[in-house]
Amino acid sequence: MRIKELKVLFSAGEIESSVNAIAGRINAVYKDEPLVVVCVLKGAFMFFGDLVRRIENKNLEVDFVRLSSYGSGTVSSQKVVLGKDVDIDLKGKHVLVVEDIVDTGHSMRFLLDEFADRGALDVKLAVLVDKKERRVVPVAPDFTGFELSDGFIVGYGLDCAEQYRQLPDICEVIMVGEVDGNNLP
Ligand code: PRP
């Protein structure tokens, strides 16, 4: 299997409009209430950077997590663990998790439940690309940029074997050969 071409699916301009719209909704929801915005590394780094600079909250803190998942190879039995945790105590604060893509939902189900257990006031989720048709466990984002039924995408933080994260557009990878439809190479 090899990459034949990268086809722009969501352009940098479309992404910018979407991020602006999400930021506007976030500003209306939280105003200046204590808010911790959490970036899920690595894929969300670009979305996170663009989004937080548009959030006007005067009581905003940022933090970062890294998730690792492993399992028996079937998508329904994934185990997710925190490879890097937040440093900030989330108790009594609003938490906004910023994620690039939700696919099966295993990663976000784990993280949202984990943060809720720590006594956060509430835990919301902003996702740039929601592949909701591929959901295995329930996850309902509060703020969504784009919906996508299927396809393997790279760019704007998303990778293929750590390549292409720096692209300003989100592109679909067109392969020669077999593709499993998942976004996890
Ligand atoms: C991707 C993506 C999400 C997760 C979504 O991360 O960034 O975190 O997979 O999959 P799920 O809904 O099926 O759990 P990846 O493991 O590729 O790491 P990365 O963000 O470092 O690229």
pTM recorded for the entire structure:
0.92
- Cα-to-centroid distance, 58 and ligand 1 (Å): 30
36 pLDDT band, cuts 50/70/90, is very high
Q: Would the CB of 128 count as within 6 Å of ligand 1?
A: no
- Cα-to-centroid distance, 91 and ligand 1 (Å): 26
Name the average pLDDT for the chain.
93
| DSSP track, 7-74 | EEEE-HHHHHHHHHHHHHHHHHHHTTS-EEEEEEETTTHHHHHHHHTT---TTEEEEEEEEEEE-SSS
Between the alpha carbon of residue 79 and those of residues 68, 110, 111, 130, the distances in Å are: 8, 9, 12, 21
Beta-sheet pairing, 170-176 with 2-10: antiparallel
pLDDT at 96 over 90: yes
Q: Would the CB of 155 count as within 6 Å of ligand 1?
A: no
Token output for 5: 């071409």
Q: What is the pLDDT of residue 44?
A: 98
76 pLDDT band, cuts 50/70/90, is low
Dihedral of the alpha carbons of 79, 151, 3, 108, in degrees to the nearest 10: -30
Q: What is the pLDDT of residue 18?
A: 98
Cα separation, 153 vs 129, whole angstroms: 10
Cα separation, 145 vs 174, whole angstroms: 22
- Radius of gyration for the chain, computed over Cα atoms and rounded to the nearest angstrom: 16
Query: Atom 2, ligand 1: which residue's CA is nearest?
Result: 101
Q: Would the CB of 130 count as within 6 Å of ligand 1?
A: no
